[in-house]
A = this chain, B = another copy of it.
Amino acid sequence: MDIRACLFDVFGTVVDWRTSVSREVGAFAQAKGIKGIDAVEFATEWRKLYQPSMDEVRTGRRPFTILDVLHRESLMKLIGRYGIAGLGDADIDHLNRAWHRLDPWPDVVEGLTRLKKKFIIAPCSNGNIALMVNMAKRAGLPWDCILGAETARAYKPMPEAYLASCRQLGLAPKNVLMVAAHNNDLKAAKGQGLATAFVARPKEHGAGQATDLRPDTSCVDLAAKDFIDLARELGA
């Protein structure tokens, strides 16, 4: 392998979206006096609308639309379903940007800081640019640039999401390593010729998680237990 750049899935791989969104939902409900909401359930339901919302774009039924907009539409559905009333646009925008305020897993900042010394590092996420920039500023993620769905105008696992990211870096796919905690993401990247690294995040979905506990060896080139371990394996 001759790796020049490392691309990272973000939701689940870099940040613990479930704990962070739950925290934001809980704080929001308390501040607004909203009763009877289970914050973890709300976060989980919100995330369940994520793939269907992107499928509208992937299938071409809808022109490319950034994730902040899809997240907000999903949030409006949940607000209706839970029967929450009396929220203004600014309140809803604030809650929607909970996805900009996600905490990284504890190994991430140290691991990325090491990897950055040897490689170009960038997210290749379905999150939009503003979401990724605001998250990085808050969490101290030292990205060299922001790539992913908005720069590619395609949602993973569509081939163009990976290929555009390589092309925009001026690199051949074989010189780019896709890092993710999700085997389906790595399978799609491998299908476009990228190198792949699996980092397990066994608590992404909370205790009792049954998926993505181990790398799928049919599409994974290397596995690491966290980002610091990945940096060590790559000599960074």
Kindly identify which residue among B146, B168, B171 contacts A145, using a CB–CB cutoff of 8 Å.
Answer: B146
Residues of B within 8 A of A134 (CB): 170
A143 on the interface (CB 8 Å rule)?
A: yes
Is chain A's interface secondary structure helix, strand, loop, or mixed overall?
helix
Interface string of A168-179 (1 = CB under 8 A from B): 111100000000
The interface residues of chain B lying within 8 Å CB-to-CB of A70 are: none
Closest Cβ neighbor of A165 among chain B residues: B129
B120 with A169: CB separation less than 8 A:
no
Contact of A168 (CB < 8 Å), options: B144, B150, B169: B150
Query: Can you give 6 A-B contacts (C-beta < 8 A)?
Result: A68-B170, A136-B144, A137-B144, A143-B144, A145-B145, A146-B146
Report if A129-B145 is in contact (Cβ < 8 Å); known contacts: A120-B137, A137-B120: yes
Measured between beta carbons, the chain B residues less than 8 angstroms from A146 are 145-146
Which residues 146-172 in A have Cβ within 8 Å of B in the complex?
Answer: 146-147, 150-151, 168-171
Q: Determine the chain B residues whose CB is within 8 A of the CB of A230 once the complex forms.
A: none
- Each complex incorporates copies of this chain amounting to 2
Residue A133 lies at the interface, judged by CB distance under 8 Å to chain B: yes
**Residue with the greatest number of chain B CB neighbours at <10 A, chosen from A68, A120, A144:** A144
Given contacts A150-B168, A151-B151, A170-B68, is CB(A120)–CB(B133) below 8 Å? yes
Q: Are A130 and B170 in contact (CB under 8 A)?
A: yes
In the complex, A132 has a CB within 8 A of chain B:
yes
Residues of B within 8 A of A145 (CB): 129, 132-133, 143, 145-146
Shortest Cβ distance from residue A118 to the other chain B in the assembled complex, whole angstroms: 10
Q: How far is the CA of A169 from the CA of B135 in the complex (A)?
A: 12
Residues of B within 8 A of A143 (CB): 144-145
Q: How far is the CA of A144 from the CA of B144 in the complex (A)?
A: 7
A231 and B16 CA atoms in complex are apart in Å by: 34
For A130, A136, A170, the residue with the greatest tally of chain B CB atoms inside 10 Å of its CB is A170
A144: which B residues are within 8 A, CB to CB?
133, 136-137, 143
Bound CA–CA A68/B143 (angstroms): 22
Provide the residues of chain B in CB contact with A120, threshold 8 Å: 133, 137
